[in-house]
Protein backbone atom coordinates (compact mmCIF):
# COMPACT_ATOMS: atom_id res chain seq x y z
CA UNK A 1 0.00 0.00 0.00
CA UNK A 2 1.38 3.45 -0.91
CA UNK A 3 1.66 6.13 1.78
CA UNK A 4 -0.77 9.02 1.68
CA UNK A 5 0.99 12.38 1.40
CA UNK A 6 1.86 13.97 4.76
CA UNK A 7 0.37 17.41 5.28
CA UNK A 8 3.77 19.04 5.46
CA UNK A 9 5.75 17.33 2.72
CA UNK A 10 9.21 17.31 1.28
CA UNK A 11 8.76 15.70 -2.07
CA UNK A 12 11.72 14.30 -4.03
CA UNK A 13 11.27 13.07 -7.63
CA UNK A 14 14.08 10.62 -8.44
CA UNK A 15 15.01 9.52 -11.96
CA UNK A 16 17.79 6.92 -12.21
CA UNK A 17 19.73 5.84 -15.31
CA UNK A 18 18.11 2.52 -16.31
CA UNK A 19 20.81 0.05 -15.28
CA UNK A 20 21.28 -2.00 -12.12
CA UNK A 21 24.53 -0.28 -11.07
CA UNK A 22 22.74 3.12 -11.18
CA UNK A 23 19.26 2.18 -9.94
CA UNK A 24 20.55 0.45 -6.79
CA UNK A 25 22.60 3.39 -5.45
CA UNK A 26 19.82 5.89 -6.21
CA UNK A 27 17.26 3.71 -4.44
CA UNK A 28 19.68 3.33 -1.53
CA UNK A 29 20.08 7.10 -1.33
CA UNK A 30 16.28 7.52 -1.34
CA UNK A 31 15.98 4.97 1.46
CA UNK A 32 18.58 6.92 3.45
CA UNK A 33 16.65 10.15 2.92
CA UNK A 34 13.32 8.76 4.11
CA UNK A 35 14.89 6.83 7.00
CA UNK A 36 16.46 10.08 8.26
CA UNK A 37 13.29 12.12 7.94
CA UNK A 38 9.84 10.57 7.73
CA UNK A 39 8.39 13.74 6.22
CA UNK A 40 10.31 13.09 3.04
CA UNK A 41 8.32 11.48 0.29
CA UNK A 42 10.06 10.04 -2.79
CA UNK A 43 8.57 9.35 -6.20
CA UNK A 44 10.96 6.95 -7.94
CA UNK A 45 10.49 7.09 -11.72
CA UNK A 46 11.59 4.10 -13.82
CA UNK A 47 10.72 2.46 -17.11
CA UNK A 48 7.93 -0.13 -17.03
CA UNK A 49 10.48 -2.88 -17.61
CA UNK A 50 12.57 -1.78 -14.63
CA UNK A 51 9.51 -1.58 -12.43
CA UNK A 52 8.89 -5.26 -13.15
CA UNK A 53 12.46 -6.02 -11.98
CA UNK A 54 12.42 -3.99 -8.78
CA UNK A 55 8.82 -3.72 -7.61
CA UNK A 56 9.03 -6.84 -5.41
CA UNK A 57 12.13 -5.61 -3.56
CA UNK A 58 11.42 -4.30 -0.05
CA UNK A 59 11.10 -0.51 0.26
CA UNK A 60 9.63 1.94 2.77
CA UNK A 61 6.06 3.20 2.20
CA UNK A 62 7.38 6.75 1.76
CA UNK A 63 8.88 5.71 -1.56
CA UNK A 64 6.42 5.12 -4.40
CA UNK A 65 6.95 4.25 -8.05
CA UNK A 66 5.82 5.96 -11.23
CA UNK A 67 6.68 4.64 -14.67
CA UNK A 68 7.55 5.91 -18.10
CA UNK A 69 7.14 3.71 -21.20
CA UNK A 70 9.96 1.39 -22.24
CA UNK A 71 11.79 3.93 -24.36
CA UNK A 72 14.70 1.54 -24.58
CA UNK A 73 13.63 -1.57 -26.54
CA UNK A 74 14.40 -4.73 -24.56
CA UNK A 75 16.39 -6.26 -27.39
CA UNK A 76 18.86 -3.37 -27.02
CA UNK A 77 19.26 -4.11 -23.34
CA UNK A 78 19.56 -7.83 -23.77
CA UNK A 79 21.39 -7.65 -27.08
CA UNK A 80 24.15 -5.62 -25.43
CA UNK A 81 24.04 -2.96 -28.14
CA UNK A 82 25.43 -0.41 -25.77
CA UNK A 83 25.72 2.60 -28.16
CA UNK A 84 22.07 2.20 -29.28
CA UNK A 85 20.96 1.71 -25.67
CA UNK A 86 22.58 5.01 -24.68
CA UNK A 87 21.23 6.84 -27.73
CA UNK A 88 17.68 5.84 -26.72
CA UNK A 89 18.18 6.92 -23.10
CA UNK A 90 19.56 10.29 -24.11
CA UNK A 91 16.94 11.12 -26.70
CA UNK A 92 13.69 9.44 -25.66
CA UNK A 93 13.25 9.74 -21.92
CA UNK A 94 12.95 13.50 -21.38
CA UNK A 95 9.42 13.97 -22.66
CA UNK A 96 7.75 11.09 -20.77
CA UNK A 97 9.66 12.10 -17.65
CA UNK A 98 8.26 15.63 -17.84
CA UNK A 99 4.77 14.22 -18.40
CA UNK A 100 5.04 12.12 -15.25
CA UNK A 101 6.10 15.21 -13.28
CA UNK A 102 3.11 17.12 -14.64
CA UNK A 103 0.76 14.41 -13.44
CA UNK A 104 2.06 14.10 -9.86
CA UNK A 105 -0.46 15.05 -7.15
CA UNK A 106 2.27 16.80 -5.20
CA UNK A 107 4.72 18.82 -7.25
CA UNK A 108 8.29 17.82 -6.31
CA UNK A 109 10.37 20.33 -4.39
CA UNK A 110 13.59 18.82 -5.78
CA UNK A 111 14.54 16.50 -8.64
CA UNK A 112 17.22 13.90 -8.02
CA UNK A 113 18.66 12.72 -11.35
CA UNK A 114 21.52 10.55 -12.51
CA UNK A 115 24.28 12.87 -13.80
CA UNK A 116 24.25 11.16 -17.21
CA UNK A 117 20.57 12.11 -17.73
CA UNK A 118 21.49 15.72 -18.47
CA UNK A 119 18.04 16.49 -19.89
CA UNK A 120 16.56 16.26 -16.38
CA UNK A 121 18.37 19.54 -15.60
CA UNK A 122 16.60 21.22 -18.51
CA UNK A 123 13.26 19.93 -17.23
CA UNK A 124 13.97 21.17 -13.70
CA UNK A 125 15.16 24.57 -14.95
CA UNK A 126 12.04 24.94 -17.13
CA UNK A 127 9.74 24.08 -14.24
CA UNK A 128 11.72 26.09 -11.72
CA UNK A 129 12.41 23.02 -9.58
CA UNK A 130 15.93 22.66 -8.11
CA UNK A 131 17.88 19.65 -9.33
CA UNK A 132 20.47 17.53 -7.56
CA UNK A 133 22.83 15.62 -9.80
CA UNK A 134 23.64 12.16 -8.45
CA UNK A 135 26.94 10.68 -9.63
CA UNK A 136 27.09 6.91 -9.18
CA UNK A 137 30.74 6.43 -10.13
CA UNK A 138 33.83 7.57 -8.22
CA UNK A 139 34.71 11.23 -7.67
CA UNK A 140 38.01 10.56 -9.45
CA UNK A 141 36.20 9.37 -12.58
CA UNK A 142 34.06 12.50 -12.39
CA UNK A 143 37.21 14.62 -12.31
CA UNK A 144 38.68 12.75 -15.30
CA UNK A 145 35.51 13.26 -17.37
CA UNK A 146 35.19 16.88 -16.26
CA UNK A 147 38.75 17.47 -17.50
CA UNK A 148 38.31 15.61 -20.76
CA UNK A 149 39.53 18.73 -22.62
CA UNK A 150 42.94 18.28 -20.95
CA UNK A 151 43.11 14.75 -22.31
CA UNK A 152 42.30 16.02 -25.80
CA UNK A 153 44.93 18.76 -25.52
CA UNK A 154 47.47 16.05 -24.72
CA UNK A 155 46.39 13.82 -27.60
CA UNK A 156 44.77 11.29 -25.25
CA UNK A 157 41.22 10.16 -25.99
CA UNK A 158 38.70 8.23 -23.93
CA UNK A 159 37.67 6.01 -26.83
CA UNK A 160 39.53 2.65 -26.74
CA UNK A 161 43.17 2.44 -25.68
CA UNK A 162 44.62 -0.36 -27.75
CA UNK A 163 48.11 1.13 -27.96
CA UNK A 164 50.45 2.81 -25.49
CA UNK A 165 48.29 1.56 -22.66
CA UNK A 166 51.26 1.77 -20.27
CA UNK A 167 51.80 5.50 -20.89
CA UNK A 168 51.04 7.46 -17.73
CA UNK A 169 48.67 10.43 -17.46
CA UNK A 170 49.51 12.67 -14.53
CA UNK A 171 47.84 15.98 -15.28
CA UNK A 172 44.22 15.37 -14.19
CA UNK A 173 43.49 17.52 -11.12
CA UNK A 174 42.89 15.44 -8.00
CA UNK A 175 43.78 12.15 -9.72
CA UNK A 176 47.08 10.33 -9.17
CA UNK A 177 49.20 9.12 -12.08
CA UNK A 178 47.21 6.61 -14.14
CA UNK A 179 48.06 4.34 -17.06
CA UNK A 180 46.27 5.37 -20.23
CA UNK A 181 44.59 1.95 -20.44
CA UNK A 182 43.06 2.40 -17.01
CA UNK A 183 41.32 5.69 -17.71
CA UNK A 184 37.56 5.40 -18.18
CA UNK A 185 36.73 4.56 -21.78
CA UNK A 186 33.77 4.45 -24.15
CA UNK A 187 33.03 2.14 -27.07
CA UNK A 188 32.44 4.94 -29.60
CA UNK A 189 33.03 8.67 -29.92
CA UNK A 190 29.29 9.30 -30.27
CA UNK A 191 28.65 7.46 -26.99
CA UNK A 192 31.31 9.50 -25.25
CA UNK A 193 29.86 12.76 -26.57
CA UNK A 194 26.37 11.88 -25.39
CA UNK A 195 27.49 10.78 -21.95
CA UNK A 196 29.73 13.80 -21.48
CA UNK A 197 26.78 16.15 -22.00
CA UNK A 198 26.05 15.56 -18.33
CA UNK A 199 29.23 17.50 -17.53
CA UNK A 200 28.21 20.49 -19.63
CA UNK A 201 24.90 20.66 -17.79
CA UNK A 202 26.25 20.17 -14.29
CA UNK A 203 26.72 23.94 -13.90
CA UNK A 204 22.97 24.42 -14.27
CA UNK A 205 22.18 21.95 -11.49
CA UNK A 206 21.92 23.07 -7.86
CA UNK A 207 23.90 20.20 -6.28
CA UNK A 208 26.35 17.47 -7.06
CA UNK A 209 25.98 14.37 -4.89
CA UNK A 210 28.88 11.94 -4.95
CA UNK A 211 28.33 8.28 -4.14
CA UNK A 212 31.64 7.82 -2.34
CA UNK A 213 33.47 8.36 0.91
CA UNK A 214 35.47 11.56 1.26
CA UNK A 215 38.44 9.85 2.90
CA UNK A 216 38.80 7.39 -0.02
CA UNK A 217 39.23 10.12 -2.64
CA UNK A 218 39.77 13.36 -0.76
CA UNK A 219 41.95 14.97 -3.46
CA UNK A 220 39.45 14.37 -6.23
CA UNK A 221 36.57 15.59 -4.07
CA UNK A 222 38.46 18.72 -3.01
CA UNK A 223 39.15 19.36 -6.70
CA UNK A 224 35.47 19.11 -7.59
CA UNK A 225 34.56 21.42 -4.72
CA UNK A 226 37.05 24.01 -5.95
CA UNK A 227 36.09 23.74 -9.64
CA UNK A 228 32.31 23.68 -9.40
CA UNK A 229 30.25 26.59 -8.22
CA UNK A 230 27.51 24.37 -6.75
CA UNK A 231 27.64 22.52 -3.41
CA UNK A 232 29.26 19.09 -3.67
CA UNK A 233 28.09 16.58 -1.06
CA UNK A 234 29.87 13.26 -0.56
CA UNK A 235 27.00 11.26 0.79
CA UNK A 236 28.65 7.87 1.42
CA UNK A 237 28.74 4.57 -0.43
CA UNK A 238 24.96 4.33 -1.09
CA UNK A 239 25.03 0.59 -0.63
CA UNK A 240 22.40 -0.97 1.69
CA UNK A 241 24.71 -0.93 4.69
CA UNK A 242 21.80 -0.01 6.95
CA UNK A 243 20.72 -3.66 6.71
CA UNK A 244 24.18 -4.74 7.91
CA UNK A 245 24.18 -2.17 10.70
CA UNK A 246 20.76 -3.17 11.99
CA UNK A 247 21.06 -6.92 11.59
CA UNK A 248 24.71 -7.93 11.58
CA UNK A 249 23.73 -11.54 12.22
CA UNK A 250 20.58 -11.58 10.15
CA UNK A 251 19.42 -15.16 9.74
CA UNK A 252 18.55 -16.19 6.24
CA UNK A 253 17.64 -19.63 5.01
CA UNK A 254 19.69 -19.31 1.83
CA UNK A 255 21.60 -22.49 1.25
CA UNK A 256 24.71 -20.57 0.18
CA UNK A 257 24.78 -18.70 3.51
CA UNK A 258 24.49 -22.03 5.30
CA UNK A 259 27.35 -23.32 3.16
CA UNK A 260 29.44 -20.25 4.04
CA UNK A 261 28.64 -20.84 7.72
CA UNK A 262 30.37 -24.20 7.46
CA UNK A 263 33.61 -22.88 5.87
CA UNK A 264 36.73 -21.77 7.77
CA UNK A 265 37.13 -18.03 8.41
CA UNK A 266 38.63 -16.10 5.50
CA UNK A 267 38.92 -19.20 3.33
CA UNK A 268 36.44 -18.52 0.50
CA UNK A 269 37.12 -16.52 -2.67
CA UNK A 270 33.95 -14.76 -3.87
CA UNK A 271 33.84 -14.23 -7.65
CA UNK A 272 31.42 -11.94 -9.43
CA UNK A 273 31.19 -10.24 -12.80
CA UNK A 274 29.12 -7.18 -13.59
CA UNK A 275 25.49 -7.12 -14.58
CA UNK A 276 26.31 -5.72 -18.04
CA UNK A 277 29.79 -6.66 -19.28
CA UNK A 278 31.78 -9.81 -18.54
CA UNK A 279 35.11 -11.40 -19.46
CA UNK A 280 35.34 -13.68 -22.50
CA UNK A 281 34.22 -17.30 -22.12
CA UNK A 282 37.81 -18.41 -22.81
CA UNK A 283 39.06 -16.27 -19.94
CA UNK A 284 36.34 -17.51 -17.62
CA UNK A 285 37.32 -21.10 -18.46
CA UNK A 286 40.96 -20.39 -17.55
CA UNK A 287 39.86 -19.00 -14.18
CA UNK A 288 37.53 -21.97 -13.58
CA UNK A 289 40.29 -24.49 -14.35
CA UNK A 290 42.66 -22.55 -12.10
CA UNK A 291 40.18 -22.78 -9.23
CA UNK A 292 39.82 -26.51 -9.76
CA UNK A 293 43.60 -26.99 -9.70
CA UNK A 294 44.33 -24.67 -6.79
CA UNK A 295 41.84 -26.29 -4.40
CA UNK A 296 40.73 -22.89 -3.14
CA UNK A 297 37.19 -22.68 -1.73
CA UNK A 298 35.02 -20.38 -3.81
CA UNK A 299 31.55 -18.95 -4.31
CA UNK A 300 31.05 -17.84 -7.91
CA UNK A 301 28.12 -15.83 -9.21
CA UNK A 302 27.88 -16.42 -12.96
CA UNK A 303 24.56 -15.41 -14.44
CA UNK A 304 24.47 -17.25 -17.74
CA UNK A 305 27.23 -19.75 -17.31
CA UNK A 306 26.50 -21.31 -13.96
CA UNK A 307 25.80 -24.84 -15.18
CA UNK A 308 28.85 -24.94 -17.51
CA UNK A 309 31.13 -23.63 -14.77
CA UNK A 310 29.81 -26.10 -12.21
CA UNK A 311 31.22 -28.86 -14.40
CA UNK A 312 34.68 -27.29 -14.77
CA UNK A 313 35.24 -25.90 -11.29
CA UNK A 314 35.39 -29.04 -9.20
CA UNK A 315 33.70 -29.44 -5.86
CA UNK A 316 35.48 -26.96 -3.62
CA UNK A 317 32.76 -24.36 -4.00
CA UNK A 318 29.40 -23.18 -5.25
CA UNK A 319 28.37 -21.64 -8.56
CA UNK A 320 25.18 -19.56 -8.41
CA UNK A 321 23.14 -17.43 -10.79
CA UNK A 322 22.76 -14.61 -8.25
CA UNK A 323 23.30 -13.96 -4.54
CA UNK A 324 22.84 -11.21 -1.99
CA UNK A 325 26.34 -9.85 -2.61
CA UNK A 326 26.62 -7.51 0.34
CA UNK A 327 25.54 -10.24 2.73
CA UNK A 328 28.05 -12.64 1.17
CA UNK A 329 30.89 -10.11 1.34
CA UNK A 330 30.13 -9.43 5.00
CA UNK A 331 30.35 -13.14 5.90
CA UNK A 332 33.42 -14.06 7.94
CA UNK A 333 34.26 -17.02 5.67
CA UNK A 334 34.92 -14.73 2.72
CA UNK A 335 38.64 -14.02 2.38
CA UNK A 336 38.85 -12.42 -1.06
CA UNK A 337 36.80 -10.89 -3.86
CA UNK A 338 37.63 -11.51 -7.52
CA UNK A 339 35.72 -8.59 -8.96
CA UNK A 340 35.02 -6.81 -12.23
CA UNK A 341 35.37 -3.64 -10.12
CA UNK A 342 32.03 -1.99 -10.79
CA UNK A 343 31.92 1.00 -8.46
CA UNK A 344 29.19 -0.55 -6.29
CA UNK A 345 31.11 -3.81 -5.94
CA UNK A 346 34.31 -1.86 -5.18
CA UNK A 347 32.61 0.10 -2.39
CA UNK A 348 30.91 -3.04 -1.03
CA UNK A 349 34.24 -4.90 -0.87
CA UNK A 350 35.88 -1.99 0.96
CA UNK A 351 32.99 -1.46 3.42
CA UNK A 352 33.06 -5.20 4.21
CA UNK A 353 36.88 -5.25 4.49
CA UNK A 354 37.45 -7.87 1.78
CA UNK A 355 40.66 -7.62 -0.32
CA UNK A 356 40.43 -7.77 -4.11
CA UNK A 357 41.69 -9.62 -7.11
CA UNK A 358 40.74 -7.23 -9.87
CA UNK A 359 39.52 -8.21 -13.32
CA UNK A 360 38.00 -5.05 -14.86
CA UNK A 361 36.44 -4.99 -18.32
CA UNK A 362 35.47 -1.48 -19.41
CA UNK A 363 34.03 2.02 -18.68
CA UNK A 364 35.14 2.99 -15.13
CA UNK A 365 36.09 -0.51 -13.98
CA UNK A 366 39.81 -0.34 -15.04
CA UNK A 367 40.16 2.94 -13.12
CA UNK A 368 38.47 1.45 -10.04
CA UNK A 369 40.92 -1.43 -10.27
CA UNK A 370 43.77 1.10 -10.39
CA UNK A 371 42.51 2.80 -7.22
CA UNK A 372 42.18 -0.56 -5.44
CA UNK A 373 45.66 -1.74 -6.43
CA UNK A 374 47.77 1.44 -6.61
CA UNK A 375 46.09 4.04 -4.38
CA UNK A 376 44.53 2.00 -1.58
CA UNK A 377 46.86 -1.02 -2.03
CA UNK A 378 44.13 -3.47 -1.04
CA UNK A 379 44.22 -5.77 -4.04
CA UNK A 380 46.16 -7.35 -6.90
CA UNK A 381 45.48 -7.30 -10.62
CA UNK A 382 44.69 -10.61 -12.30
CA UNK A 383 45.82 -9.10 -15.61
CA UNK A 384 48.86 -6.83 -15.43
CA UNK A 385 49.32 -6.47 -19.19
CA UNK A 386 46.94 -3.76 -20.37
CA UNK A 387 47.95 -3.73 -24.04
CA UNK A 388 45.39 -5.57 -26.14
CA UNK A 389 43.23 -8.58 -25.33
CA UNK A 390 45.66 -10.82 -23.50
CA UNK A 391 44.40 -14.10 -22.10
CA UNK A 392 45.58 -14.74 -18.54
CA UNK A 393 46.52 -18.41 -18.47
CA UNK A 394 45.38 -20.96 -15.90
CA UNK A 395 48.91 -21.36 -14.46
CA UNK A 396 49.20 -17.60 -13.79
CA UNK A 397 45.80 -17.55 -12.09
CA UNK A 398 46.70 -20.58 -9.92
CA UNK A 399 49.90 -18.87 -8.72
CA UNK A 400 48.13 -15.58 -7.99
CA UNK A 401 45.08 -17.07 -6.26
CA UNK A 402 47.19 -19.38 -4.06
CA UNK A 403 49.41 -16.53 -2.87
CA UNK A 404 46.48 -14.15 -2.37
CA UNK A 405 44.42 -16.63 -0.35
CA UNK A 406 47.39 -17.85 1.75
CA UNK A 407 46.65 -15.91 4.93
CA UNK A 408 50.19 -16.59 6.18
CA UNK A 409 51.99 -14.96 3.23
CA UNK A 410 53.46 -11.49 3.83
CA UNK A 411 51.70 -10.22 0.70
CA UNK A 412 48.28 -11.40 1.90
CA UNK A 413 48.88 -10.11 5.42
CA UNK A 414 49.84 -6.60 4.22
CA UNK A 415 46.81 -6.33 1.96
CA UNK A 416 44.49 -7.56 4.71
CA UNK A 417 45.87 -5.12 7.25
CA UNK A 418 45.28 -2.20 4.87
CA UNK A 419 41.74 -3.27 3.96
CA UNK A 420 40.89 -3.57 7.67
CA UNK A 421 42.00 0.04 8.17
CA UNK A 422 40.05 1.19 5.12
CA UNK A 423 36.94 -0.58 6.36
CA UNK A 424 37.16 1.30 9.66
CA UNK A 425 37.62 4.61 7.83
CA UNK A 426 34.42 3.90 5.86
CA UNK A 427 32.35 2.95 8.89
CA UNK A 428 33.58 6.07 10.73
CA UNK A 429 32.51 8.19 7.74
CA UNK A 430 29.03 6.65 7.70
CA UNK A 431 28.61 6.81 11.48
CA UNK A 432 27.24 9.72 13.51
CA UNK A 433 29.26 12.88 12.84
CA UNK A 434 31.33 11.18 10.10
CA UNK A 435 31.99 12.92 6.77
CA UNK A 436 29.17 11.10 4.91
CA UNK A 437 26.71 11.59 7.75
CA UNK A 438 27.41 15.35 7.86
CA UNK A 439 26.91 15.76 4.09
CA UNK A 440 23.78 13.61 4.03
CA UNK A 441 22.23 15.65 6.83
CA UNK A 442 23.18 18.88 5.06
CA UNK A 443 21.40 17.61 1.93
CA UNK A 444 18.30 16.72 3.94
CA UNK A 445 18.35 20.19 5.53
CA UNK A 446 18.47 21.73 2.06
CA UNK A 447 15.59 19.58 0.81
CA UNK A 448 13.50 20.76 3.74
CA UNK A 449 14.43 24.39 3.10
CA UNK A 450 13.46 24.09 -0.57
CA UNK A 451 10.19 22.43 0.39
CA UNK A 452 9.25 25.16 2.84
CA UNK A 453 9.98 27.85 0.20
CA UNK A 454 7.92 25.86 -2.23
CA UNK A 455 5.02 25.41 0.21
CA UNK A 456 4.91 29.10 1.07
CA UNK A 457 5.37 30.32 -2.52
N1 LIG B 1 24.97 -7.88 -7.13
C2 LIG B 1 24.25 -8.71 -6.29
N3 LIG B 1 24.32 -10.04 -6.50
C4 LIG B 1 25.06 -10.60 -7.46
C5 LIG B 1 25.83 -9.75 -8.30
C6 LIG B 1 25.75 -8.38 -8.11
O7 LIG B 1 23.58 -8.27 -5.35
O8 LIG B 1 25.06 -11.82 -7.56
C9 LIG B 1 24.88 -6.41 -6.91
C10 LIG B 1 26.15 -5.91 -6.28
O11 LIG B 1 26.07 -6.04 -4.87
C12 LIG B 1 26.19 -4.45 -6.76
C13 LIG B 1 25.47 -4.49 -8.10
O14 LIG B 1 24.76 -5.74 -8.15
O15 LIG B 1 25.49 -3.63 -5.86
C16 LIG B 1 26.42 -4.41 -9.28
O17 LIG B 1 26.88 -3.10 -9.40
P18 LIG B 1 28.36 -2.78 -9.86
O19 LIG B 1 28.50 -1.29 -9.92
O20 LIG B 1 29.34 -3.47 -9.00
O21 LIG B 1 28.50 -3.44 -11.28
P22 LIG B 1 27.68 -3.30 -12.65
O23 LIG B 1 26.79 -4.49 -12.66
O24 LIG B 1 26.93 -2.01 -12.64
O25 LIG B 1 28.73 -3.39 -13.68
pTM for this predicted structure: 0.93
Residue 276 has what pLDDT? Answer: 67
User: Looking at ligand 1, which atom is closest to the CA of residue 341?
Assistant: 20
The stretch 313-332 carries a mean pLDDT of 92
User: Looking at ligand 1, which atom is closest to the CA of residue 343?
Assistant: 19
Q: How confident is the model at residue 8 (pLDDT cuts 50, 70, 90)?
A: low
% of the chain surpassing 70 pLDDT: 91
Q: Is residue 188 over pLDDT 90?
A: no
Pick the closest to residue 390 from 364, 363, 359 (CA basis). 359
Q: Would residue 1 count as lying in a domain?
A: no
Does 231 share its domain with 336? no
Does 178 share its domain with 215? yes
Q: Would residue 4 count as lying in a domain?
A: no
Ligand 1, atom 18, residue with closest C-alpha: 342
Q: Would residue 2 count as lying in a domain?
A: no
Q: Would residue 286 count as lying in a domain?
A: yes
Number of neighbours of residue 3 by Cβ within 10 angstroms: 13
Does 95 share its domain with 206? yes
Does 184 share its domain with 259? no
Q: Is residue 283 over pLDDT 80?
A: yes
Q: Would residue 3 count as lying in a domain?
A: no
Paired strand residues for 132: 112, 207
Q: Would residue 410 count as lying in a domain?
A: yes
% of the chain surpassing 90 pLDDT: 75
Does 323 share its domain with 179? no
Does 238 share its domain with 258? no
The stretch 79-91 carries a mean pLDDT of 82
Residue 126 has what pLDDT? Answer: 96
Residue 85 has what pLDDT? Answer: 85
pLDDT tens, residue by residue, 112-149? 999 999 999 999 999 999 999 999 999 999 999 999 99
Considering 3-7, 172-176, 274-278, the range whose residues carry the highest mean pLDDT is 172-176
Residue 253 has what pLDDT? Answer: 64
User: Looking at ligand 1, which atom is closest to the CA of residue 346?
Assistant: 20
In sequence order, which ranges of 188-296 are alpha helices (DSSP H)? 189-201, 218-227, 241-246, 255-261, 281-294
Residue 76 has what pLDDT? Answer: 59
Does 62 share its domain with 139? yes
Q: Would residue 281 count as lying in a domain?
A: yes
- 58-72, 182-196, 302-316: which range is least confident on average? 302-316
Residue 456 has what pLDDT? Answer: 45
Query: At how many degrees (to 10) do helices 20-36 and 435-456 cross?
Result: 70
Q: Which of 16, 22, 24 to mutate to test the pocket of ligand 1 (most atoms within 8 A of CB)?
A: 24
Find out whether the beta carbon of 143 lies less than 6 Å from any atom of ligand 1: no
Q: What is the count of structural domains for the chain?
A: 2
Does 287 share its domain with 227? no
Residue 9 has what pLDDT? Answer: 76
Q: How confident is the model at residue 157 (pLDDT cuts 50, 70, 90)?
A: confident
d(CA 218, CA 139): 9
Does 314 share its domain with 411? yes
Find out whether the beta carbon of 439 lies less than 6 Å from any atom of ligand 1: no
Q: Which of 53, 344, 352, 364 to mutate to test the pocket of ligand 1 (most atoms within 8 A of CB)?
A: 344
Does 282 share its domain with 174? no
Find out whether the beta carbon of 65 lies less than 6 Å from any atom of ligand 1: no
- By residue range, what is the domain housing residue 90? 10-242+430-455
Does 233 share its domain with 318? no
Q: Chain-wide mean pLDDT for the chain? A: 90
Query: Residues 66, 44: contact at Cβ < 8 Å?
Result: yes
Q: Is residue 250 over pLDDT 70?
A: no
Find out whether the beta carbon of 20 lies less than 6 Å from any atom of ligand 1: yes
Q: Would residue 247 count as lying in a domain?
A: no
Q: How far is the CA of 347 from the centre of ligand 1 (A)?
A: 11
Ligand 1, atom 21, residue with closest C-alpha: 342
Q: Is residue 247 over pLDDT 80?
A: no
Does 141 share its domain with 225? yes
pLDDT tens, residue by residue, 363-403? 999 999 999 999 999 999 999 887 777 899 999 999 999 99
Q: How confident is the model at residue 314 (pLDDT cuts 50, 70, 90)?
A: confident
Query: CATH number of the domain that 108 lies in?
Result: 3.40.50.2000
Amino acid sequence: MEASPPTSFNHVAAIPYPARGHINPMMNLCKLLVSNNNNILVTFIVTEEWLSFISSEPKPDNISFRTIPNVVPSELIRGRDHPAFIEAIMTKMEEPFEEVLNLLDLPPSIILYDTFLYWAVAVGNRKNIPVASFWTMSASVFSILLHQHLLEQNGHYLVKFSENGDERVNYIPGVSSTRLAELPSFQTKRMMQMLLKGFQWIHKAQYLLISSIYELESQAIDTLKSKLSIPVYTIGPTIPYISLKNNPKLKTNNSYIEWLDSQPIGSVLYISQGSFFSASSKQIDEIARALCESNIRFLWVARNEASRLKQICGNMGLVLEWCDQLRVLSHSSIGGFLSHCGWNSSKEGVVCGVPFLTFPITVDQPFNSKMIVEDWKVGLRVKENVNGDVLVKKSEVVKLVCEFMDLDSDLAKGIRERIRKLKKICWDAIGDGGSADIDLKALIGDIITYSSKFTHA
